[in-house]
A and B are shown apart, each in its own frame.
Chain A
Amino acid sequence: MPPGISTSDFYYILPELVLTGGALLVLIADVLLPRGSKALAWVTLLAIGATIASLVPFGSTHVEVAHGLLAVDQFALFFKIVFLGAAALTVLMSVRYLEIEGASPGEYYFLILCATLGMMIMAGGIDLLTIFIGLETMAVSFYILAGFIKPNQRSNEAAVKYFLLGAFSLGILLYGMSIMYGLSGTTNLRTMATAFVGQERDPRLVLAVILVVAGLGFKIAAVPFHMWAPDVYEGAPTPVTAFLSVGSKAASFAMLLRIFLEGLPSMSADWRLMFEVLAIVTMTIGNLAALTQTNIKRMLAYSSIAHAGYILIGVVAGTPRGVAAMLIYLLIYAFMQLGAFTIIIIMRRQDVVGDELKDFSGLHIRHPFAAFAMLLFMLSLGGIPPTAGFMGKFWLFGAAIDAGYVRLAVIGVLNSAISLYYYIRLVVFMYLKPQGAGSPVTTSPSLGIALAVAVIGTIFLGVYPRLLFDLAEMSARTLGVAAVTAAIR
């Protein structure tokens, strides 16, 4: 047993261990099962289900594992549920897609699970080292997944772009982290927080904060670090895009909250200002760029950039309410974004790529339920009640006003009004234009399940968000935000 690690630490990382085991099991099953068997997807789902089950004992745990490498708390738990749920939906929507594209499912599911594992470590990490490892586990998996359709040039191109910019942003982030380490003498975020008190004016620390903000800006695709996102989203296989835009984004936000709220509270004046500017620019540019897109995946990429801007509002607020709003929004966003991507995958048929705006023409005649679901997701993304997206935005803007950032809230709501234009444009195509070409639109059982989950989530959280709100508030409080804000004021 290496020093500093005890047997009980293994108990606390049980979910991660189960997931790792599950991932290995998928690889073995890939060899054993006959080629082209759909059972592999169910094995993957089983692994995810087992991991979710293994989260149960940690419902109210609040400990640091291995002397502060990982935290097992409700904040991490909330994110883990989001990641695992998103992964499960992604697996469900991948089955038919992989079949049509003719890609081998074994490595694909393995990598999805690996990426999920990385995300879980990112959410739990309270040490720069663990966060970095988690980030790379996730990122490397995604590099491969983005280029998974090897004969497809767009997929290749997406992978190269994602890889280059991902590695570049990692370098910048690490450089900032190395300075943080040098100035504090520790990589543990909580120790670091106390070490930095009184060093607010150290230019090296300000530089480190700028570098970390920039590095994370790439990961969450905040303007001006967003150039990779539209290309990667458009080129990557659609289920991967879905998982990337939900899981990777949520994990990056978890990491961001850990680093800034746990590690750099004393610098909050600096990073709040930076994030405020980033938030404003990100939502505005994201929405304006989305206005002219004709490819749905690309449009959703810009919309996802804009949503990163909204979510940043919660970081700027920095209060428990702000953090809770972010958690709420990320979960709601997972439902609506994954739902929208499920529809795009349903549109992908042997003869039609199905991600152009015109492919959706007259969808409500060809497949009324798919059109209705897409309508729901678009309204939710646009923030119209009574959908979940409205509740999420309401909570975010409420947190901003609560923390005194009225300007940010005003810009936010104006942006959400602008965004309505392009979401509604898709609705126009689906409902008000004559029928498009191509073979009939059908769903498979797994796609149907994914769609049903997303629809129910989007409606239920829009009508009865109370449970989620309470849960998120509780999780946000475990981040230690309250103590930190108290210490600063």
Chain B
Amino acid sequence: MITPTHYMLLSSALFIIGVAGVMMRRNIIVIFMSIELILNAVNINLVAYSSQLQNAVGQVFALFVIAVAAAEAAVGLGIILAFYRNKETVNIDEMNLMKW
């Protein structure tokens, strides 16, 4: 039997993987995918809570998150593409024009 706890565990696992990915990977695209993982963890959380609480708001929220994530992906990939055109790389270590 799958209880809400299982959903929570899954979502926190996804969240942690996502955060770890953002921290450790060097490829911008992979970092971006890790961020999407975090957003998916959020969605799982929202939907699971929603079904547990018998309350539709969570699902609406999840839909909005999906829509916004799509918009963000469109913009984000555009930005990454523009960066790639100029620099011919998607490695975050080569973003070094500005340093303190």
Contact = CB atoms under 8 A, between A and B. Distances in A.
Name the prevailing secondary structure of the B interface residues.
helix
Interface string B45-63: 1101100110101101100
24 contacts: A136-B71, A144-B78, A153-B86, A153-B87, A154-B97, A156-B79, A156-B82, A156-B86, A160-B79, A160-B83, A163-B80, A164-B22, A168-B35, A170-B39, A170-B72, A171-B38, A174-B42, A177-B42, A178-B46, A178-B61, A179-B45, A185-B49, A187-B57, A298-B100
A140 B11 CA distance: 25
A364 interface: no
Interface in A222-267: 230-231, 234-235
A70 interface: no
Contact of A156 (B35, B65, B83): B83
A289 interface: yes
Chain A: interface size category: 35 or more
B27 to A, nearest CB: 11
Nearest to A136: B68
Name the prevailing secondary structure of the A interface residues.
helix
Given A160-B95, A181-B61, A231-B98, A175 B87 contact: no
Interface string A153-172: 11011111101100110111
Contacts of A38: none
B32 A157 contact: no
Nearest to A302: B100
Contact of A157 (B55, B76, B83): B83
Contact of B15 (A167, A175, A181): A175
Contacts of B76: 143, 163-164, 167
A163 B61 contact: no
B18 to A, nearest CB: 7
Chain B: interface size category: 35 or more
Given A160-B28, A163-B76, A181 B22 contact: no
A231 B99 CA distance: 7
A160 B35 CA distance: 14
A143 B72 CA distance: 9
A448 B42 CA distance: 47
Nearest to B65: A174
Interface in B59-95: 60-61, 64-65, 68, 71-72, 75-76, 78-80, 82-83, 86-87, 92, 95
